[in-house]
Amino acid sequence: MAHHIANDIPARLLMWQRVRAYAVPRSMIAAATARRAVGDWAGACAAARINVDFDLRAVRDRHGSDLVTRLRADLRRLAPDLLRWHMPRIAPDGRLRPGLTLSLARYRTRGATPLQLVVRTPPAWADAGQWMSLALWEGSGSGDAAPGHPPHPHPHPDRRFRLDLHRHLWDSGCSGELARRCGAGGAPSAAPSGRSGVPDRPGAPGRPVLPDRLTVHDSPWAVARWAAEAELLLRAEGRPRGAFTVRLDAQRRAVLELVAPDDSHAPTCRPLREAPAPQEVAALPVLPEAAARVLPDLELLRAGLVVAERLHPLVAAALAASGSARVAGPAEEPGDPHRVECRGEVHRIALRDGVLTAIDHDPVQLRREELLVALGGPALPCLRAIDAVHRSPQALPAVRERLRHGDVAGALAVVEALLGPGAVLRDGPLREELESAAARRIDHGLFRSGLLTLRPGAGAGAGAVGDGQASGVDHAHASRRPRLDRRTPAVLRRKLSSRARPRTGLNR
C-alpha cells in the first residue's frame, strides 16, 4: 500500500482491520460452529475461549425450571465466536475492553431485579489469552463472585456497553437482522456539526446536533439509526417516550428527546430545548455503543479494507443479503523459498526434515561452517540469514498480533511453517515474544483461581480496586531500583542487568 494512501486511512479503521484478521481466527469459528451445530453450547464456548461461571443445576434450584428453560434456549442459540467478533475493543492494539461486564439477556424473576446473563472480560493485567467468561448477575450490588469463581473488578452490567437490545450481535437465530439494525442499506451517516454536546436550541427532526470536532472521520456516529434504537431503549426501560443521552466523549453527553406524532409514525429525536442538570443527565437512559456508532465491518467494507470472505460467516451472510458486501479480490500466491546471495551465487533456504536449512550447501560443509562460527569465525551469508530468521523473522508482526489476541496455536503454526517443527529458538525478539506470552498466562491463571485479585506490584491506584492494602506502596518505594520480573520489557531488562552499564552513582 502506498504511503500517502495509508496515511489517509484513519488509525481506527487500521486497528479494526487487524482485529478482523487476527482476533477471531478461522479455526476458532469452525470449531465453535461445529460444537454449536450439535447442541454443545459449553463446547462452543470453550472453543471461543469463554469460561462458564455458573451451574444450570444450581440456577434451577434457586430460580426454578422455567427460568432455566429460557436460559438454556438462549445458550443454545449463543454463537460465542460471533459474540467475540462484536465485543468492544480498545485502541491501539484492538484488545478486548478490560474489566467489562456486558449484559446479553434479561430474565424476569420473582425478585425486583431481573436476572441477567452477562459476559465479562478480565482486568488488563490478567488478559492473557483474551479469555472471557459467562456469568449470571442477580442484581445484588456486591462484587462477590459465585463460589469457586474469581471476583470481578466491575460486576455491575455497564449501561453503555450492553447487548440485550442487540441480540443479532450474539444470537445465531437473529444474526440476519444485522443489516437492518446497522443501516447497511443506506448511505454512510455523517454527524452534523454544532456548537455543544447539549445544544440549547432544537435542530432538524431526527438529526441531533453534535460537536464540530466529532465528525464521521474521527467518530463514526450512526445518527440515522438513533431514533429507532432510542425507541427500543426507552421501551425496554418502560418509557414510551422521553429523553436519553449519547456519550460523545469522556466529558460530554448529548441529551436528546424522542418524539413522534403518534404510534403509527416513525419516531424522531431532537435536542432538548433546555439543558437539564448534571444529576438529571446521569439518571437518563444511555444509548448503547452498538447503536450509537456505525458497525466496524460496514466501515471496512465501504473503505475497501476487507472483503466479505474475510468476515465472520454470519456477518458476511447478513451484509451480502443487503448488497453491502464486496467481491473478493485475487488470492495471495504463496511465497517462494528464501533466496540469499552467497559467495557470488543465489542460494535457497527452505525447510528440510523439519528445520530451516541452506539446501544448496553440502551438509558436511554446513557443519564445518557452524563449527567455525562457534569458534568465532565469520558465518556464511546463508547461515547469517537463517540465524536472522530464527531471531527476528519477517513474520514477527503476524506472530505478535496472534499472541496479543490469544491465538497461541495460530502463532505457533506460523513459527513452525517458517522455521519448521524441529527448530530450536534462539535469543531474540521472537523468543522473547513467546516467553512473554507464556508468562502472562500465569497471571491469568492466578486471577481465574482467585489467588490474585490485585495486579502484581500495583500501588495505591490499583489498591482501590483490590483490597485497599496497597496504598502508599509506590510512594515508599518510588526511589528504589525497578524490580526485574517477567513483565519488564526486554530492552530495560538488558540495560539494568548489563555489567557494562556505567556506574553513575560513583560520579555524584
- Per-position pLDDT tens, the chain of length 508: 444 445 578 889 999 999 999 999 999 999 999 999 999 999 999 999 999 999 999 999 999 999 999 999 999 999 999 999 999 999 999 999 999 999 999 998 876 678 999 999 999 999 999 999 999 998 765 444 566 666 788 889 999 999 999 999 999 999 999 999 988 765 554 443 333 344 333 333 444 445 444 444 345 888 889 999 999 999 998 887 889 999 988 888 899 998 875 566 677 888 888 888 888 888 999 999 999 999 999 999 999 999 999 999 999 999 986 666 655 544 444 444 567 788 777 888 777 777 777 777 888 887 887 888 788 878 888 888 887 887 778 788 889 999 999 999 999 988 888 888 887 888 888 889 999 998 888 888 888 888 876 666 554 444 333 343 333 334 334 445 556 666 666 666 666 666 554 544 444 3
248/394 Cα distance (integer angstroms): 40
Question: How high is the pLDDT of residue 467?
Answer: 41
Q: Cell numbers 513459527 correspond to what residue?
A: 415
- How deeply is 45 buried, as exposed, middle or buried, from its count of CB atoms within 10 A (0-12, 13-18, 19+)? buried
- How deeply is 322 buried, as exposed, middle or buried, from its count of CB atoms within 10 A (0-12, 13-18, 19+)? middle
Question: How high is the pLDDT of residue 492?
Answer: 66
Q: Are 30 and 60 in contact (CB under 8 A)?
A: no
Question: How high is the pLDDT of residue 375?
Answer: 82
Rounded to 5 degrees, φ, ψ at 75 are -65, -35
CA torsion through residues 13, 19, 24, 26, sign: positive
Question: How high is the pLDDT of residue 204?
Answer: 39
Question: How high is the pLDDT of residue 86?
Answer: 97
Q: Are 352 and 364 in contact (CB under 8 A)?
A: no
The H or E element spanning position 460 is helix 460-463
Q: Are 66 and 33 in contact (CB under 8 A)?
A: no
Nearest C-alpha neighbor of 373 from the set 381, 92, 480, 417: 381
